[in-house]
Amino acid sequence: MTINMKKNFFEPGDESLLPAGFQSLESFIEKWGELYTADARYIMRQSSTMEELQLFYTAATPLLEQAFEHLDTFEFVENELPLAQARLLRLMYSLAEVSQAIEIFGQPTVPHTPFPHKAPAMEIF
């Protein structure tokens, strides 16, 4: 079974929430694994506490390289991956967002910036 990365789709009876070796991240799926856009991850980071961010960061960071190695074995065709791998990919996207708060800002929001806010879209010529 595959999932379109832009839609939330679950099949009844799907027991493989994440690929083998990543079960320790299952408790983070509801909050971090079902965010389908960068904006959604950005707002979730800003809306979270540092304790929540640190908990996810601590659990996910040691699995980052393993996740990339696993995901590299799949061909990305029109944003489609098997459901468990799609969840894992979204968790790693969320980790990239969360790591900014932990490693750079020291807080969930961007320093000296009102919350909530949305980063302006940039035009590329």
- Quote the pTM value: 0.80
Is residue 121 included in any domain, yes or no? no
Sign of CA dihedral 58, 59, 60, 61: positive
Phi, psi of 107 (to 5 degrees): -160, 160
Q: Is residue 112 part of a domain?
A: no
pLDDT (tens digit per residue) in 40-96: 999 999 999 999 999 999 999 999 999 999 999 988 765 688 999 999 999 999 999
Better-predicted residue by pLDDT, 3 or 118: 118
Identify the domain containing residue 59 by its residue range: 2-6+18-105
Q: What are the phi and psi torsion angles at 3 (to 5°)?
A: -130, 140
Read off the tokens for 99.
Answer: 């790591």
Q: Percentage of the chain with pLDDT > 90? A: 67
Q: How many domains does the chain have?
A: 1
